[in-house]
């Protein structure tokens, strides 16, 4: 479904979808708004952890709450790097003839088993 970068709009759209489609098995948020609002929708509609699988991208305070409650896991990575760094490498090759070496990109799945290792990403 199309969501929004506004938490309220995104939450309302996900809840409306879940109500209209009770056969839903999985919610996957692709970003810093749809990921937390996905788990918020599950909680607000009274779903128990595991009834609908939840996953997404990014660590936000709401995603930490969802992970700790057992709703699912999220991926923490530098997702923009996959496209951006490739584009920079291509530009450097075409413009300067330079070949870019390895471009390390960090990624990890964060779930109930390791959430405490990642809460530092939220800052103070």
Asked if the structure places residue 86 within a domain, the reply is: no
82 in any annotated domain: no
Q: Is residue 111 part of a domain?
A: yes
Q: How far apart are CA 38 and CA 88, in angstroms?
A: 33
Please, are residues 29 and 11 in contact by the beta-carbon 8 Å criterion?
no
**Residue 19, pLDDT above cutoff 90:** yes
Q: Output the domain CATH number for residue 38.
A: 3.40.50.2300
Question: Is there a domain that residue 22 lies in?
Answer: yes
pLDDT of residue 21: 98
Tokens matching residue 44: 């607000």
Average pLDDT of the chain is 87
In a domain, 91, yes or no: no
The verdict on residue 46 lying in a domain is yes
Q: What is the token pair recorded at 51? A: 């009834």
Q: Give the strand pairing for 26-29 and 107-110.
A: unpaired
Give the pLDDT confidence score for residue 80 in this predicted structure: 61
Closest CA to 67 of 99, 100, 35: 35
What pLDDT, in 10s, does the model give residues 57-71?
Answer: 888 889 999 999 999
Residue the block writes with tokens 């699912």: 72
Q: 75: which 2 tokens?
A: 């991926």
Whether residue 78 is predicted with pLDDT greater than 70 in this model: the reply is: no
Question: Which pLDDT belongs to residue 69?
Answer: 94
Residue 11 has a pLDDT of 97
| pLDDT reported for residue 8 | 96
Domain that holds residue 118: 7-77+107-122
pTM attached to this predicted model? 0.76
At 82-123, the pLDDT tens digits run 667 778 788 888 889 888 776 666 677 888 898 888 888 777
Tell me how many domains the chain contains: 1
The half-sphere exposure of 45 on its side-chain side, counting CA atoms within 13 A, is: 22
């Amino acid at each position: 479904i199309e969501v929004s970068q506004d938490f309220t709009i995104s939450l309302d759209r996900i809840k409306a979808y879940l109500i209209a489609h009770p056969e839903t098995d999985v919610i996957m948020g692709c970003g810093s708004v749809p990921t937390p609002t996905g788990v918020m929708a599950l909680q607000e509609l009274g779903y128990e952890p595991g009834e609908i699988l939840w996953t997404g991208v990014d660590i936000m305070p709401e995603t930490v709450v969802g992970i700790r409650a057992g709703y699912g896991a999220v991926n923490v990575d530098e997702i923009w790097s996959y496209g951006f760094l490739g584009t920079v490498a291509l530009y450097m090759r075409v413009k300067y003839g330079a070949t870019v070496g390895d471009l390390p990109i960090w990624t990890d799945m964060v779930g109930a088993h390791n959430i405490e290792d990642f809460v530092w990403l939220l800052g103070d």
